[in-house]
Structure 1
Amino acid sequence: MTQLSNSISRSQVEQLVRQALSQQLGAGPAAAPSSAPNPLVVNISARHIHLSQEHLEVLFGKGAELEVQKDLYQEGYFAATQTVAVVGPRRRMIPNVRVLGPCRGDTQVELAFTDTISLGLDVPIRISGDLKGTPGCVLMGPKGVVELEFGVIRAARHVHMSPADCAYYGCSNGDNLHLRIESAGCTTVLEDVVVRENPEVKLEVHIDTDEGNAVDLDHATSVKLYVPESCKCKHS
C-alpha cells in the first residue's frame, strides 16, 4: 500500500480519490453512457425568485407559507403557487415571476439577459448566493411591497454534481466545464458551466431561458458534459 506523508495536500488527496473512483466507474466521459454514475439532465431555469421568510410575509401577509405547485428535479425544492411582480427603474415591470421554495436567508431574483434589458437593469452574472454589489429592484405582492437594495443576478450556467459525478468527469467544485448540445442546425458548445458539488444533489445542468432558446434545447438530440483541456491540466 502506498504511504501518504503528513504533508500531502488536499488537492492531491482529491486527485487520488478521483483516480480510484474513475477506475471503478469507467474511463470517463468517453466511456459508454452506462458507466456513468448518474444520467445527465439539462434543464432551463426560467426567471424566478427566492424569498426570505420576512419578505414572504410582507408580500403575502403575516404568517404566509409557500404552497407547492410542482416539485423540481432536485429533491426538497419546488415551484410555489405564489408569484410576484418585479419592477425596475422607471417602473418597467415583469409580472407573475414564480417564487421557488423553500425560503432562503436572503431574497434573490434570478433573471435572463433579455429580462434585465426589459427592466432597464445592469445585472452581473453570479453564482447563486453571491449577492454583494448586485442591483436591487421592487417586488410587488398581493399584500405588500418590498424594495430590495441588492439581490438581482443573472445566474451563471452551472451543473449540480455529487462527489461520484465529479470523480467520473474528473472535476471538482468551482471548475468550469463545457456543455455540447446537438440540435438540428444549431449544435453549440456552452463554456464556463460552473461545477457546484454537493453530496445530496442529482446531476443536473441549469441554463437560462435565453441560452435554452439559443441552443434549441427542446429539440436537442444529444448533450455531453466534459472537462476542457485547460481544466484537465490543473488536475494532472
Structure 2
Amino acid sequence: MAAGVSAPPRAVVEHLVRQAVYQRLGKPLPRIAQAPNPLVVNISARHCHLTQEAVEALFGKGYQLRVLRWLYQEGQFAAQETVTLIGPRSRVISNLRILGPCRSLNQVELAYTDAIALGFDVPLRLSGDIKGTPGCMLMGPAGFYELKEGVIRAARHVHMHPDDAAFYGVRNGDYMRLKVGGDCGVVFEKVLVRVDPAFRLEVHLDTDEGNACNLQPHTPCELVKA
C-alpha cells in the first residue's frame, strides 16, 4: 500500500468480500440490519474530574482548564493540567490528568493496579456514585485540595445514543457483553449501558482491562446483548 494511504476499515473489507462471494454465487446479498454508528472501544487511563472550586484551589483563583485534546465524547476533553495524587502512607501518582469540563463533584478514577501501588482499597463504582468511597489529597502548583471521598475504579460501560440503544435492543442501565478478538481475546461481562442523545457509541475499559486483552486500534470487538 502506498505511503500515507490508510487501509479501509475491517467492516468495509468484510462487506466487499461478502458482496463478491454472493455475486459469484449469483445470489442477492442478504439484507442485514446495520448499526447506526461504528463501535469504538477506548482505554480510559487514570484521571480525575474536578469542580471549579477544586481547580481554583490547585491552580489559583479564577483559573480555567485548558484543552490539551478533545475526547471522543462531544464536549469532553483532556486538560493540559495535571495534579499529583497523594495516597495512604504518602505514596504518590504524579501527572494525574484532569478531564474537563468541570463537574459538580470531584472524582478520581484508578485501575486496580494503580490503587494497589498507592495503598488504596477502592470499590468498583458507577461514575458519580462516590458515597462511602476513599478520599485523597491532590496537589497542584497553587496548593492542596483534600477529597473526603471520590476515589473509585470505574465500572466498564458503553456510551450510547438512543438510536444505538434501539439497534442493540437495550435501555439505559442494562448490561451487555463485549467480545474482544485477537490473540488475547476475552469476553467482558457486565458492560453497563449509558444512554443519552449527546453520546457517541463508545465502550470505556480501564488500563488493566485493555492490557489484559492487548487492545489495539485494529482489534475486532463486538457488543452483544447479555
TM over 0.5: yes
1:33: Cα distance to partner? Answer: 7.8
Aligned length: 197
1:162: Cα distance to partner? Answer: 1.0
Distance verdict in 2 for CA 1:64–1:205, change over 3 Å: same
Distance (Å, rounded) in 2 between the aligned partners of 1:32 and 1:123: 47
Aligned to 1:124: 123
Counterpart mapping for 1:72-111 below 5 A = 72-111=71-110
Unaligned runs of 5+ in 1: 1-30, 229-236
Distance (Å, rounded) in 2 between the aligned partners of 1:104 and 1:195: 21
1:147: Cα distance to partner? Answer: 1.2
Aligned to 1:197: 195
> What are the superposed Cα offsets for residues 139-164 of structure 1, whole Å, 9 maximum, x if unpaired?
01010101111011100000001111
TM-score (norm 2): 0.85
Return structure 1 stretches of 4+ with deviation > 2 angstroms. Answer: 31-34
Distance (Å, rounded) in 2 between the aligned partners of 1:201 and 1:212: 22
Distance (Å, rounded) in 1 between the aligned partners of 2:44 and 2:138: 20
> What are the superposed Cα offsets for residues 80-100 of structure 1, whole Å, 9 maximum, x if unpaired?
000001111100000000000
| Secondary structure, counterpart of 1:226 in structure 2 | strand
Distance (Å, rounded) in 2 between the aligned partners of 1:70 and 1:87: 26
| Secondary structure, counterpart of 2:223 in structure 1 | strand
Q: Is 1:80–1:99's contact at 8 Å kept on the other side of the alignment? A: yes
Counterpart mapping for 1:109-148 below 5 A = 109-148=108-147
1:226: Cα distance to partner? Answer: 0.5
Q: Which amino acid aligns with 2:95?
A: N
1:200: Cα distance to partner? Answer: 1.0
Aligned to 1:176: 175
The answer to whether 1:207 aligns with 2:202 is no
Aligned to 2:186: 188
Alignment RMSD: 1.4
Aligned to 2:61: 62
Q: Is 1:112–1:208's contact at 8 Å kept on the other side of the alignment? A: yes
Q: Which amino acid aligns with 1:81?
A: Q
> What are the superposed Cα offsets for residues 92-147 of structure 1, whole Å, 9 maximum, x if unpaired?
00000000000001111000000000110111111111111111001010101011
Counterpart mapping for 1:22-33 below 5 A = none
Distance (Å, rounded) in 2 between the aligned partners of 1:149 and 1:69: 28
Q: Is 1:87–1:137's contact at 8 Å kept on the other side of the alignment? A: yes
TM-score (norm 1): 0.81
Q: Is 1:161–1:202's contact at 8 Å kept on the other side of the alignment? A: yes
Distance (Å, rounded) in 2 between the aligned partners of 1:33 and 1:110: 39
Aligned to 2:219: 221
Distance verdict in 2 for CA 1:220–1:132, change over 3 Å: same
Aligned to 1:43: 42
1:221: Cα distance to partner? Answer: 3.1
Give me the identity figure in percent: 60
Distance (Å, rounded) in 2 between the aligned partners of 1:33 and 1:147: 53
